[in-house]
Amino acid sequence: MLDNLVGVEIRRELQPYDPISPRTALTIGAYDGVHSGHRQVIAAVRRLAAERSMTSAVLTFDRHPASVVRPESAPLLLTDSDQKLEQLASTGIDLSLVLSFDEVRATESAEDFVRHVLVGCAGVGLIVVGEDFHFGHRRRGNVSLLREMGTDLGFEVFGIGLVGPDGLVARDHEQVSSTFIRRALARGDLERANAMLGRTYEVRGLLKSRNWGDPELDSGMANFLVDELILLPEDAVYAGWCEEPDGLIYGAVISVGTGLSPDGTNSRSVEVFCLETTSSNNNEFELSNELTRVRFVRRLRSQYNLKSPEAWINQFHIDVSDTRSALV
């Protein structure tokens, strides 16, 4: 788990605010995905913080609040904790406050959250959130409550409208949100999902086995183990990139599918075939316990049953060729 990143402070424990420190201009939320809409909010926080000589900050949580409040319908995640913190750091924010979200936090009143967390620990001087922002027990806190309490406790509140990929206020069907990104990924619409993210969708996991080599060899695919809480795109074959822990990046054929697990239940799996990029590559790679990054660039085709090994090999060569073309 990351404890620091270049240029940003990460704080995981609440501490009483030191009055001699600059006050914070912050935004609050799950920030799953840190998509282009999130980045526009953070850009506003940074601008307002600079104008007021405050520390710019994001207050987020160590897990998605829905996993505690309504675990039966909690969404799969677009980013794990480390990914989220890395993406937040890339925005240029000064401080990431990671708040533990548990059953006690879930029953905390909105008023207590403002007094104890935002004012007492974060030293908030300014808050930027969406106009539809809700917080606290039973989501009873909102922008109106923040403004009312801000008048008494001495902080400003800016509520902003939903935004689209172009930065303009969006209609419902155009808005950028983690929910809309999940829906796009679920139907394999990478173009839409990546546009809302502002980057290529990435998942991280462990390669269980390595079968790298020349596409003319029937070397097969490597199993890619992903945390079950992370969202995978629709079952399909994709073109993308595979980044090793040492930073080497390869074009990749990525296959996402569903099949029977040993216990008889349906489970989803990912297989990856990484293309060689240099003639000096000798195909000798050792399995690492460090996370490999896989990025989904383009959907190539649906999954379908291939009747023979020859049909599989022929289709595999087509997928490799299509992947090379897609990544040009």
**CATH no. for residue 82?**
3.40.50.620
pLDDT for residue 214 is more than 50: no
The predicted structure's pLDDT at residue 208: 79
Phi/psi of residue 276, nearest 5 degrees: -70, 145
Q: Taking residues 236-264, report their average pLDDT.
A: 86
Domain identity same for 56 and 170? yes
For 13-17, which contacts have Cβ atoms below 8 Å and span 24 or more sequence positions? 14/99, 14/117, 14/121, 15/121, 16/120, 16/121, 17/119, 17/120, 17/121, 17/122, 17/123
pLDDT of 56-72, one tens digit each? 999 999 999 999 999 99
For residue 286, tell me if it sits in a domain.
Answer: yes
The predicted structure's pLDDT at residue 235: 96
pLDDT of 165-179, one tens digit each? 554 444 555 678 999
Domain identity same for 17 and 142? yes
The chain-wide mean pLDDT, for the chain, equals 87
**CATH no. for residue 262?**
2.40.30.30
CB-based burial label for 199 (10 Å; 0-12, 13-18, 19+): middle
Q: Please give, one letter per residue, the 3-state secondary structure of the chain.
A: CCCEECCEEEECCCCCCCCCCCCEEEEECCCCCCCHHHHHHHHHHHHHHHHCCCEEEEEEECCCCHHHHCHHHCCCECCCHHHHHHHHHHCCCCEEEEECCCHHHHCCCHHHHHHHHHHCCCCEEEEEEECCCCECHHHCECHHHHHHHHHHHCCEEEEECCECCCCCECCHHHCCCHHHHHHHHHCCCHHHHHHHHCCCEEEEEEECCCCCCCCCCCCCCEEEEECCCECCCCCEEEEEEEECCCCCEEEEEEEEEEEECCCCCEEEEEEEEECCCCCCCCCCCCCCCCCEEEEEEEEEEECCCCCCHHHHHHHHHHHHHHHHHHCC
For residue 186, tell me if it sits in a domain.
Answer: no
pLDDT of 104-124, one tens digit each? 999 999 999 999 999 999 999
Q: How many domains does the chain have?
A: 2
Domain identity same for 23 and 137? yes
Domain identity same for 41 and 165? yes
Domain identity same for 24 and 102? yes
**Residues 6 or more apart in contact with residue 203 via CB below 8 angstroms:** 226, 230, 232, 270, 293, 294, 296
pLDDT of 274-317, one tens digit each? 887 443 343 444 455 678 999 999 999 999 887 888 888 889 89
Domain identity same for 154 and 8? yes
pLDDT for residue 129 is more than 90: yes
The predicted structure's pLDDT at residue 85: 96
In the listed set 146, 179, 212, which residue is the last one of a domain according to the structure? 179
Range of the domain at 275: 201-326
Alpha-carbon gap, residue 168 to 67, rounded angstroms: 31
For residue 191, tell me if it sits in a domain.
Answer: no
- Tell me what percent of the residues of the chain surpass a pLDDT of 90: 70
Q: Which residue has the higher pLDDT, 162 or 225?
A: 225
In the listed set 144, 179, 214, which residue is the last one of a domain according to the structure? 179
Position 210 confidence tier, pLDDT thresholds 50, 70, 90: low
